[in-house]
Amino acid sequence: MSKAKPHMTYAKSGVDIKKIKQSHKKIANMLRKTFSYRQGLTGEVSIEIGHYAGLLKLDKDKMLALHADGVGTKTLIATAMKKYDTIGIDCVAMNVNDLICMGAEPIAMVDYLAINKPEEDVIKDIMKGLAYGAKQARVSIVGGETAVMPDLINGFDLAAMSVGILNKDQLITGEKIEAGDKIYGLKSSGIHSNGLTLARKVLLSYHKLTYKPAGWDRTLGEELLIPTRIYVNIVDAIIRNCEVHGLAHITGGAFTKLMRLSCNLGFMIDTIPNPPPIFALIQKLGKISDYEMYRTFNMGIGFCVIAPRRERDTLMRIAKRYDCGCIEIGEVTEDVGVIVNKIRIA
């Protein structure tokens, strides 16, 4: 087998985060012009593009949160493993985990499945995962689209649009974050649904998906397919019982996502534990720097809660009740940017 190039990066694997962010800015500038179409009407836009979800005003109190997301190249792992019954959970998670970052309660989704051929068993298994994910998140899947496009799709792609509701006084944007607030990390279930392009190119340069590293209970393919953890219930409990200043789903861009919450403060993370074995293996085989790992992968922390120090004990009790590992990983500072284990990543 060919060897992965030394010092692999997300950009070398084909995903240049810097260029993507530049494109996002241009897209936002174009789409912002459409906000005026609903000004003064039901559905008036109430937040700029670039946060975890779009927000629309329904009346003086109620707001609607909208988000769309997919599972990326994790579909390639599902296809290679011929295992399709969990990828739908990832699709639900990637949507609802972003909605809750705004303080919204996810209520409904519509899915979009593009596939190269209408294989009934494959579609059934994908839908099975969607239904199970919806049960975990307490949302209804009210419709969707299945498009068969053999000329365009090789395998399948899965995405969805999600809707959440909230009262204006429940909105969490990060504006209440202040220096001294603590950063609490909720543990991930594994690699989740981000960084798979880099992970695949590194791991599959050395091993097959059926390879089981020494000491592992799963093969590489099985490990990569572990569904993204759905944080809806635990975050709902935290919001109801704690004073919360900010919430962040750690996905593409990893811990740089914290900058969505405040561009005037810093996030000092100094207690990331040893990464789960999947991340250690990717880093070792790809000779990937710590800087690149902290900007690409969740490294075992799938969600961050920013709250005052006094909320620590309550937050930890809630995490234990929901059987979700939680650790205090850092603190908000006045030094703008994101530093992880003494490495500045943003």
Output the domain CATH number for residue 97: 3.30.1330.10
pLDDT of 50 reads 81
Looking at 141, 170, 199, the residue that finishes a domain is 170
For 110, other C-beta atoms within 10 Å of its C-beta total 16
Query: Does the residue 126 lie in any domain?
Result: yes
CATH number at residue 232: 3.90.650.10
CA within 13 Å, CB half, 309: 5
Same domain, 151 and 215: no
| Domains of the chain: total | 2
The segments of the chain whose pLDDT lies below 70 read 1-6, 14, 17, 20
Of 244, 228, 238, 223, nearest to 322 by C-alpha is 238
pLDDT of 142 reads 98
As a whole number of angstroms, the distance between CA 111 and CA 27 comes to 23
Same domain, 198 and 337: yes
What are the tens digits of pLDDT across the range 133-144?
999 999 999 999
Same domain, 158 and 52: yes
Same domain, 250 and 289: yes
What is the residue range of 60's domain? 42-170
pLDDT of 45 reads 93
pLDDT of 1 reads 35
Same domain, 70 and 134: yes
Query: Does the residue 35 lie in any domain?
Result: no
- pTM (2 decimals)? 0.93
3-state secondary structure 186-244: EECCCCCCCCHHHHHHHHCCCCCCCCCCCCCCCCHHHHHCCCCCCCHHHHHHHHHHCCC
Of 220, 98, 97, 80, nearest to 155 by C-alpha is 80
pLDDT of 156 reads 98
